[in-house]
Amino acid sequence: MKQTAKNWSESVIKQDEIDKYLINGKDFIDENEINEKLKTNVNHSKEDIRKIINRSLNINRLSFDETAALLNVKDEAIWEEMYAAAAEVKRRVYDNRIVFFAPLYCGNLCVNNCKYCGFRNENKDEVRKVLNFDEVKKEAEAVIDEGHKRMIVVYGEHPKTDANYIAESIKQIYSVEKKAKSGKMNRIRRININAAPMCVSDLKKLHEVGIGTYQVFQETYHKATYNDVHESGPKSDYRWRLYALHRAMDAGIDDVAIGALFGLYDWKYEVMGLLYHTADLEKRYGIGPHTISFPRMTPASGSDLSTNSKYLVNDEDFKKLVTVLRLSVPYTGLIITAREKAELRKEIIKVGCTQTDASTKIGIGEYSGVDKAELENKQQFTIGDPRPLDDVVRELAEMGKITSFCTAGYRCGRTGEKIMTLLEKTEEGKFCKLNAVLTFREYLDDYASEETRKVGEKLIEKELKEIENMKFYKAHKLTDLMTDYYERVSNGERDLFI
């Protein structure tokens, strides 16, 4: 019998791969408990809030009650202290670097019917396409031409973009090499994926082809809202999605990423949901998520909810929720994306983000030049900051923040428990500082405009002086190694890392 999208989608969920994680038939999201903590942790004194902030500054994950207390702060002067503390937490753990990536959308066929999404199955205005593997490689070439070295590849949930397609597309992207303006060869060194929840056997296929981080957003942790906005398809099963990353860990993928789509339900509740998710991963596996994302809902093709939800988050509250996440889980990466407009993204980066994208295109095949008229109907949501990578790199350099294209940790075995332990000890950021400088040197020589290069040279000089004077590097005999590697990269060698 020929497989249809309908019978394929009916076979996706494996109930035993949900039940094994339940405790007495319950999952880890206790809505009554979350609501109670938000209700009772109010009107804390300034001294109490400052004690909580200090725990975060010591790189301790905050408790549910402490996080609820921060969410309920009303004093704007205390919020200013929290913004400053969040920035300091980020500096202590990750230094002043910002990691860059580019998203690549491989297809917009989807068996789900999510009210907020342009890709939803019943959106008749959507022009559907799945890239073939030659097109995937052309897209990768176009992304490499911007100077990127890491990518997150995004897939709709559909039999045409199943685990086998995903695995092959990853192989194809890793195979692409492209010459930079300098004549040096560049390639994508790290591929993360954003894909639907899968069974353990399918996740093992992805682990075998070398995916980096596996990213699944719960969208909303509020169960009634979840059921309302996910009308049909495998995504309508709350718990299948909730335990997607537990299955990934069991499949050997030790870098996982969580997120919520802010605007579906109350933002304070969703922050708590993200913390509960983090805590359960830590409890079961000893490590939590590698990153947390917090996209805001933006207008999507064919979706009234995307513009009319009563829970849409304003800019002020958005800055607050990111700040609380930074303080609540101080050692985990935070991703701010090009959904946000340039000025706001710049502001949010200041309160503790570690990763962002640039030169972002989310139309299917848009990087390599699909007809522009078609692309307007293919976008899953609206992009707020479409600037090229070079512009964003220069802006951050002017802010004193170094762009990193580092993928060293993943190839040195600093993943999973090892990297999270180093982050908690504020040591991983020191290795990353070295590798950020090396990859920034590559970018300045291979891709940067003259204007960006001038700004970048001043920043890199400052970074090298800091490295020369830091006791950590001397104690670990890294100073001479860094000097050697920097000279070799400056002379044309590529992909040296520590």
Average pLDDT of 297-324? 92
- In the block, which residue shows the tokens 């900051």? 385
Q: Quick check: 280 pLDDT over 80?
A: yes
The one-letter amino acid code at 196 reads A
- pLDDT of the residue at 419: 60
CA atoms within 13 A on the CB side of 403: 33
The model carries a pTM of: 0.94
Q: In sequence order, what are the beta bridge partners of 187?
A: 177
Rounded to a whole number, what is the largest CA-CA distance in the chain? Answer: 69
β-strand 97-105 against 256-259: which pairing, if any? unpaired
pLDDT over 90, % of the chain:
84
User: Would you say residue 184 has pLDDT above 70?
Assistant: yes
The CA-based dihedral angle spanning residues 135, 136, 141, 143, taken in that order and rounded to the nearest 10 degrees = 120
Pairing of strands 185-187, 190-194: unpaired
Which pLDDT tens digit goes with each residue over 387-403?
999 999 999 999 999 99
List the domain boundaries for the chain. 5-25+88-423, 428-490
Torsion sign across C-alpha atoms 472, 474, 477, 483: positive
Instruction: Report pLDDT for 418.
Output: 58
Give the mean model confidence (pLDDT) for residues 134-163. 97
Where is 177: in which H helix or E strand? strand 177-179
Assigned token pair, 99:
């990691």
* Alpha-carbon gap, residue 298 to 310, rounded angstroms: 13
Tokens read off for 221:
């942790």
The class of domain 5-25+88-423 in CATH terms is alpha beta
What's the burial of 204, exposed, middle or buried (CB within 10 Å: 0-12/13-18/19+)?
middle
Q: What is the pLDDT of residues 95-104, one digit of tens each?
A: 999 999 999 9
**For all residues of the chain together, what is the average pLDDT?**
93
Instruction: Give the per-residue pLDDT at 126.
Output: 82
Any idea which of 106-110, 121-125, 326-330, 419-423 has the lowest mean pLDDT? 419-423
Measure the CA–CA gap between 20 and 23, rounded to whole angstroms. 8
If 0-12 CB within 10 Å is exposed, 13-18 middle and 19+ buried, where does residue 452 land? buried
Give the SS3 label for residue 329: coil
Q: Using CB atoms within 10 Å of the CB of residue 45, give its burial: 0 to 12 exposed, 13 to 18 middle, 19+ buried.
A: exposed
